[in-house]
Chain A
Amino acid sequence: EVQLVESGGGLVKPGGSLKLSCAASGFNFSTYSMNWVRQAPGKGLEWVSSISSRSTYMHYPDSVKGRFTISRDNAKNSLYLQMDSLTVEDTAVYYCVRDTQFLGYDYWGQGILVTVSS
């Protein structure tokens, strides 16, 4: 059974940093691109970052570029998101998502809440 379990969320002050982790199991993690997608309270879905299977490519939207860094450790079946210079607009539930390229985002974690507030 495919499982994605996020951790590391919580309350952080504006300007602060936080690192999210995602533990993957039940599939060959090292062969899939992975993503982070977030959802602000009561709002829609926003793609936050993508990393290729061997960490060759990383992509970000302009809203987080230069502040967020996605990484992975295939030996540990883990995905990470380092978030720096956080603002209140980064408050959201963050989802770890498996990417099948042209077959959609087929597995999602349960999500982890990040709250940026003074």
Chain B
Amino acid sequence: EIVLTQSPATLSVSPGERATLSCRASQSVSGSVAWYQQKPGQAPRLLIFGASFRSTGIPARFSGSGSETDYTLTISSLQSEDFAVYYCQHYNNWPRTTFGQGTTVESK
């Protein structure tokens, strides 16, 4: 089973600052990575698929990059509504999939 490790566990950022979240796979997942945002009491929301493609309606301040085993989600200028937990997911063995343990983005 491919394991995804997200870092850091918690990221403290001020509004307007840049946030960079990392997701590392235990073996290559060939760009088959998605990112989700989850706010308290809500279902996750798809942000990025295919490592770098924004889902419908996702603001341009969210961007994804990476290949092989290392992936990054960047929020270019953090807004107040972006404080949440972010999960990466791989689907290289679709339909089997695993998620990272999550990164909490909190207000500094």
* Residues in chain A within 8 A of chain B (CB atoms): 33, 35, 44-47, 50, 52, 57, 59, 61, 95, 99-106, 108-111
Contacts and interface: CB of A to CB of B under 8 A. Distances in A.
B93 to A, nearest CB: 10
B49 A103 contact: yes
Given A105-B46, A108-B43, A44 B100 contact: yes
B46 A106 contact: yes
Contacts of A106: 46, 55-56
A94 to B, nearest CB: 11
Q: Would you list the 9 A-B pairs with minimal beta carbon distance, nearest first?
A: A104-B49, A108-B43, A50-B95, A104-B34, A45-B99, A104-B46, A103-B49, A47-B97, A44-B101
Interface in B27-68: 32, 34, 36, 43-46, 48-50, 53, 55-56
A85 to B, nearest CB: 22
Interface of B: 32, 34, 36, 43-46, 48-50, 53, 55-56, 87, 89, 91, 94-102
Given A44-B87, A111-B43, A59 B96 contact: yes
24 contacts: A44-B99, A44-B100, A44-B101, A44-B102, A45-B36, A46-B99, A47-B99, A50-B95, A50-B96, A52-B95, A100-B49, A101-B91, A102-B32, A102-B91, A103-B50, A103-B53, A103-B55, A104-B48, A104-B49, A105-B89, A106-B56, A108-B45, A109-B43, A111-B43
